[in-house]
């Protein structure tokens, strides 16, 4: 009898291609009961790639395969008597789709950490994920901080958040004792801070989630209101920008907050005593009183979709919206021209000083604008060349900074200052365009649709408008700063300090630098409440 003990333990022997046609590649596996699907149960991933060299299954493996097939016929399907135990079945990494002709194909697994995304795709994904609704507030933030200060703050915040993001990405590599390949940042926090770390990071994520949902709701109400008003005015041929200060040319810009009375009235100023139809419309289509509730009717059916992943197909709307906004801003800037005057410390009637002490409001906005720390690990996992992670991250941050700078500077600079004051720039710069403006109407529609597809993904809050009344101006400063505090500043720095201390590599300069970052984060949060 031949001595079978000496055969190779390797599963595959690479060989030349003897097979003619590999056959269909589309194999579906469902995930119920792993063990009963042996032999060689394959993880349910799509077959993404096929090696050029077709491997040949070794005799040992095919014998095992046959054995398991045969044993499974000896028992009833419900009987677990002869199921192959774990230690005789090859590990998941060694699993191949086995053809009875003897060839085998290796499946690519997403969770292995070596994804298929090129650097370009990764950079684009980071850029796409980071650019959100904060983009609408950047001009306002620059206005609050002053032009020069604003630009400097944007660049500095970009660098600071990039560094902290780098710390998040590198945090897993400092843990040598445990296998961290499937970890996200909350897991790292739990490792260092125990369950307090896990729960607090979860809490902060929740805070940012709730904040984002509030923001989305407010913005969507806004956009829906303006869209409805545009359509109504278009149908009834009403031009209603008379009582609001605005510019008098073909591209009107309005200043909605410049009113004699204190609280800005969120409905149209037109009051025609004789026009009851308009009155009715205004009664039923009110920005703060009625439209937000109509939004419920619009969103509720969307929230009942069984698989929210249906909406992730509309991700492309986000990119389109941003690109359209860039186009819109460029167009308006060309039409309106630049109106810049530099006054360093004193405000004038139309301009704001270059350096203002309300710049923390800009940092508050930017903390959320540059926030991606809770999912950066997952995004970078699919990068094909992992050694380029830091480089790709830096490039992505640079692009995001440039985008923000571009939009912020252009809107700020082209805001028609002689008739209107720069102070008029709204927290949502689209509000500065009248509802009759077609281009901004299109922008609002885009953003409206994009947010409607994102909202179900976020989950929802029922009575957010109530909270909106409680909070007043609920713009992203608070939630952004709050979660930014934890994720962006404190946790990455603290974890880095702790891990260095454990490895006894902590030096004074590093300690001082990171404590300083933590203090900055704290100050950022506290000062929001004083502004």
Partner 1 sequence: MEESDSEKKMEKENLGPRMDPPIGEPEGSLGWVLPNTAMKKKVLLMGKSGSGKTSMRSIIFANYIARDTRRLGATIDVEHSHVRFLGNLVLNLWDCGGQDTFMENYFTSQRDNIFRNVEVLIYVFDVESRELEKDMHYYQSCLEAILQNSPDAKIFCLLHKMDLVQEDQRDLIFKEREEDLRRLSRPLECSCFRTSIWDETLYKAWSSIVYQLIPNVQQLEMNLRNFAEIIEADEVLLFERATFLVISHYQCKEQRDAHRFEKISNIIKQFKLSCSKLAASFQSMEVRNSNFAAFIDIFTSNTYVMVVMSDPSIRFSLEEEFKFLSQLLGVLLSQTAKMPPETLGKKRHSAAVDPWE
Positions that interact with partner 1 (CB under 8 A): 1-4, 7, 59-60, 62-64, 66-67, 69-71, 73-76, 79, 81-82, 84-85, 87-88
Minimal distance in Å, beta carbon 86 to partner 1?
11
Minimal distance in Å, beta carbon 110 to partner 1?
31
Identity of the residue, 46 or 75, whose beta carbon is nearer to partner 1 in the bound complex = 75
Identity of the residue, 43 or 79, whose beta carbon is nearer to partner 1 in the bound complex = 79
Identity of the residue, 38 or 444, whose beta carbon is nearer to partner 1 in the bound complex = 38
Between the CA of residue 350 and those of 223, 413, 422, what are the distances in Å? 28, 12, 6
Identity of the residue, 3 or 31, whose beta carbon is nearer to partner 1 in the bound complex = 3
Minimal distance in Å, beta carbon 81 to partner 1?
5
Identity of the residue, 63 or 526, whose beta carbon is nearer to partner 1 in the bound complex = 63
* Euclidean distance between CA atoms 476 and 218, whole angstroms: 11
Identity of the residue, 8 or 276, whose beta carbon is nearer to partner 1 in the bound complex = 8
Minimal distance in Å, beta carbon 3 to partner 1?
8
Length of the chain: 531
Alpha helices in 10-130 (DSSP H): 59-72, 119-130
Helices 508-528 and 359-369 pack at an angle, to 10 degrees, of: 110
What residues form DSSP beta bridges with 307? none
Identity of the residue, 66 or 283, whose beta carbon is nearer to partner 1 in the bound complex = 66
Minimal distance in Å, beta carbon 14 to partner 1?
15
Cβ atoms of residues 185 and 171 within 8 Å: yes
b/e for 300-310, b at 16 or more Cβ within 10 A? eeeeeeeebee
Take residue 212 and report the two structure tokens written for it.
């984002």
* Euclidean distance between CA atoms 465 and 462, whole angstroms: 8
* Euclidean distance between CA atoms 505 and 509, whole angstroms: 11
Between the CA of residue 498 and those of 187, 412, 419, 494, what are the distances in Å? 15, 43, 56, 6
Minimal distance in Å, beta carbon 15 to partner 1?
11
What residues form DSSP beta bridges with 56? 13, 103
Minimal distance in Å, beta carbon 101 to partner 1?
10
Q: Classify 113 in phi/psi space as left (phi over 0), alpha (psi -120 to 50) or beta.
A: left
Cβ atoms of residues 254 and 245 within 8 Å: yes
């Amino acid at each position: 009898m031949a001595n079978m003990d000496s055969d190779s333990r390797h599963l595959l022997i690479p060989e030349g291609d003897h097979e003619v046609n590999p056959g269909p590649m589309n194999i579906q596996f469902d995930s119920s009961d792993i063990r009963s699907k042996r032999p060689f149960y394959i993880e349910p991933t799509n077959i993404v790639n096929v090696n050029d060299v077709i491997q040949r299954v070794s005799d040992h493996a095919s014998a095992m395969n046959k054995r398991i097939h045969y044993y499974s016929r000896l028992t009833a399907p419900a009987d677990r008597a002869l199921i192959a135990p774990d230690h005789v079945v090859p590990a998941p990494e060694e699993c191949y789709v086995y053809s009875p002709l003897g060839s085998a194909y290796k499946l690519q697994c997403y969770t292995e950490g070596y994804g298929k995304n090129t650097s370009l795709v990764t950079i684009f994904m980071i850029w796409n994920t980071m650019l959100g609704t904060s983009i609408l507030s950047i001009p306002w933030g620059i206005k609050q901080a002053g032009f020069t200060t604003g630009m400097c703050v944007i660049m500095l915040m970009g660098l600071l958040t990039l560094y902290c993001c780098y710390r998040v990405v590198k945090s897993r590599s400092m843990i040598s004792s445990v296998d961290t390949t499937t970890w996200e940042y909350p897991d790292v926090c739990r490792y260092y801070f125990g369950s307090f770390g896990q729960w607090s990071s979860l809490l902060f994520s929740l805070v940012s989630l709730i904040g984002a949902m509030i923001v989305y709701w407010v913005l969507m109400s806004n956009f829906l209101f303006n869209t409805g008003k545009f359509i109504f005015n278009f149908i009834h041929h009403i031009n209603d920008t008379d009582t609001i200060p605005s510019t008098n040319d073909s591209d009107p810009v309005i200043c909605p907050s410049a009113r004699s009375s204190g609280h800005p009235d969120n409905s149209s100023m037109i009051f025609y005593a004789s026009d009851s139809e308009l009155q009715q419309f205004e009664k039923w289509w009110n920005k703060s009183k009625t439209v937000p509730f109509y939004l419920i009717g619009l969103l509720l059916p969307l929230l009942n979709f069984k698989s929210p992943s249906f909406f992730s197909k509309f991700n492309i709307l986000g990119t389109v919206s941003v690109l359209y906004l860039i186009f819109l801003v460029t167009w308006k800037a060309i039409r309106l021209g630049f109106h810049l005057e530099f006054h360093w410390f004193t405000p004038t009637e139309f301009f704001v000083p270059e350096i203002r002490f309300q710049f923390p409001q800009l940092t508050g906005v930017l903390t959320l604008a540059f926030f991606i720390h809770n999912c950066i690990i997952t995004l970078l996992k699919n990068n094909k060349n992992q050694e380029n992670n830091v480089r790709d991250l830096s490039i992505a941050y640079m692009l995001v900074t440039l985008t923000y700078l571009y939009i912020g500077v252009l809107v700020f600079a082209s805001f028609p200052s002689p008739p209107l004051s720069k102070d008029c720039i709204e927290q949502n710069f689209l509000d500065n365009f009248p509802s009759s403006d077609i281009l901004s109407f299109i922008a609002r529609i885009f953003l409206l649709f994009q947010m409607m597809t994102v909202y179900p993904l976020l989950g929802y809050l029922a009575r957010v408008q109530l909270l909106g009344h409680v909070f007043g101006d609920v713009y992203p400063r608070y939630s952004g700063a709050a979660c930014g505090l934890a994720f962006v500043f404190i946790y990455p720095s603290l974890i880095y300090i702790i891990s260095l201390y454990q490895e006894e590599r902590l030096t004074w300069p590093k300690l001082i630098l990171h404590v300083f970052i933590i203090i900055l984060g704290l100050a950022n949060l506290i000062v929001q409440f004083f502004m």
